[in-house]
């Protein structure tokens, strides 16, 4: 059973890699590359959040806050203080890790869903600070962010943009970069899940009492995975900001936190590939529905409701279940 499980996971990573690298064969419009890049970066943050929600059974309602801190720290350091992108991203992630540790450590000693309340508050505080520290963050109007640079080499969406030509290499480069980042995020997450930490976490998710009885330090593992998922959000936030070139406090808003959680739940809690599908669906839907104008929100709500009613476990687990059932049915011969 276990072997089958992990084989399935590896298959998922290979499958994802094929999709990521095959996509440029089917799309050529830079707008679509831009969208795919955003989806990949947000999916990376969602993969991190899934570690917390799907494996430790804790809910964070402030993940957009961590996403926002990562983005704003990088933005402020690179544009105001001339830092290079990578050190800004790393220091920002360390800062976020410290915040998450300080918040999570005392609260995760308690049983139950106290973490969601604490993260709700932290998310709001971060959003308020970003909105009000006008000198630093530009306030509600937002601030520009320079292109991502690595050792003097610059990755810009506009890399080789000629004035009226449709040279797409800048967008394609960003897309491939984001794709690789997503693959790395998934690979890390899957390794973590299959490590002793991951097994300890799943035991906590199953039964916290049983886990502590067999000697798992539940508080330690829960805060560890909370910190890891916050760092995921921070790194993806910084990259997202570099890609967008302009950020506003709405990326740290409560709405965005809820959207991230919805992606996890919709795609299927605990399924790394599933939550990526959740991110793809929820990012693409508004674009598809944009043509319906005032019907947009209604259709969006309807789709979410129907999914929750008919696929309560999420898109991928439900689909996998269905396929398994059919396979065992035909194997059993009673069609």
Residues in touch with another protein (CB under 8 A): 29-32, 34-35, 38, 131-132, 134, 139-142, 144, 157-158, 161, 163-164, 166, 244-248, 250-251, 286-287, 290, 293-297
Are 60 and 198 in contact, with CB atoms under 8 Å apart? Answer: no
C-alpha distance from residue 303 to each of 182, 263, 278 (Å): 26, 13, 12
Minimum distance from residue 93 beta carbon to another protein (Å):
21
In the complex with another protein, the residue whose CB is nearer, 142 or 314, is 142
Minimum distance from residue 281 beta carbon to another protein (Å):
16
In the complex with another protein, the residue whose CB is nearer, 36 or 115, is 36
Minimum distance from residue 303 beta carbon to another protein (Å):
17
Minimum distance from residue 70 beta carbon to another protein (Å):
15
Minimum distance from residue 139 beta carbon to another protein (Å):
5
In the complex with another protein, the residue whose CB is nearer, 35 or 117, is 35
In the complex with another protein, the residue whose CB is nearer, 297 or 306, is 297
CA distance 231 to 80: 23
Minimum distance from residue 153 beta carbon to another protein (Å):
19
Name which of 286, 187, 235 is nearest 74 in CA terms.
Answer: 235
In the complex with another protein, the residue whose CB is nearer, 292 or 322, is 292
In the complex with another protein, the residue whose CB is nearer, 295 or 308, is 295
In the complex with another protein, the residue whose CB is nearer, 142 or 267, is 142
Token digits for 62? Answer: 């402030």
Cross-strand pairs, 247: 143
In the complex with another protein, the residue whose CB is nearer, 15 or 246, is 246
CA distance 131 to 71: 14
Minimum distance from residue 221 beta carbon to another protein (Å):
34
CA distance 139 to 151: 30
Minimum distance from residue 255 beta carbon to another protein (Å):
9
């Amino acid at each position: 059973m276990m072997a089958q499980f992990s084989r399935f996971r590896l298959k998922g990573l290979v499958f994802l890699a094929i999709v990521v690298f095959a996509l440029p064969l089917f799309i050529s419009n830079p707008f679509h590359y831009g969208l795919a890049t955003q989806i990949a970066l947000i999916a990376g943050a969602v993969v991190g959040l899934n570690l917390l929600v799907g494996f430790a059974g804790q809910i964070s309602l402030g993940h957009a806050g961590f996403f926002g801190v990562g983005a704003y720290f990088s933005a402020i350091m690179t544009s105001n203080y001339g830092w290079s992108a990578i050190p800004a991203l790393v220091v920002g992630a360390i800062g976020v890790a410290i915040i998450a540790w300080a918040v999570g450590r005392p609260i995760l000693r308690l049983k139950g869903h106290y973490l969601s309340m604490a993260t709700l508050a932290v998310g709001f505080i971060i959003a308020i600070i970003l909105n009000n520290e006008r000198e630093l963050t530009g306030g509600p109007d937002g601030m520009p962010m320079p292109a991502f640079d690595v050792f003097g080499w610059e990755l810009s969406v506009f890399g080789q943009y000629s004035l009226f030509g449709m040279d797409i290499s800048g967008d394609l480069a960003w897309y491939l970069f984001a794709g690789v980042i997503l693959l790395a995020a998934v690979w890390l997450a899957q390794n973590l899940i299959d490590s002793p930490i991951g097994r300890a976490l799943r035991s906590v998710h199953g039964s916290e009492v049983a886990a502590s009885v067999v000697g798992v330090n539940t508080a330690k593992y829960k805060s560890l995975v909370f910190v890891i998922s916050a760092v995921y959000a921070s790194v993806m936030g910084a990259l997202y900001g570099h890609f967008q070139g302009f950020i506003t406090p709405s990326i740290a808003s409560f709405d965005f936190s809820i959207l991230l959680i919805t992606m996890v739940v919709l795609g299927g809690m605990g399924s790394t590939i599933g939550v990526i599908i959740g991110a793809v669906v929820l990012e693409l839907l508004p674009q598809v529905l944009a043509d319906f104008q005032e019907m947009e929100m209604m259709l969006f709500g309807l789709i979410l409701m129907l999914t929750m009613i008919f696929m309560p476990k999420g898109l991928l687990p439900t689909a996998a279940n269905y396929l398994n059932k059919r396979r065992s049915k035909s194997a059993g011969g009673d069609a």
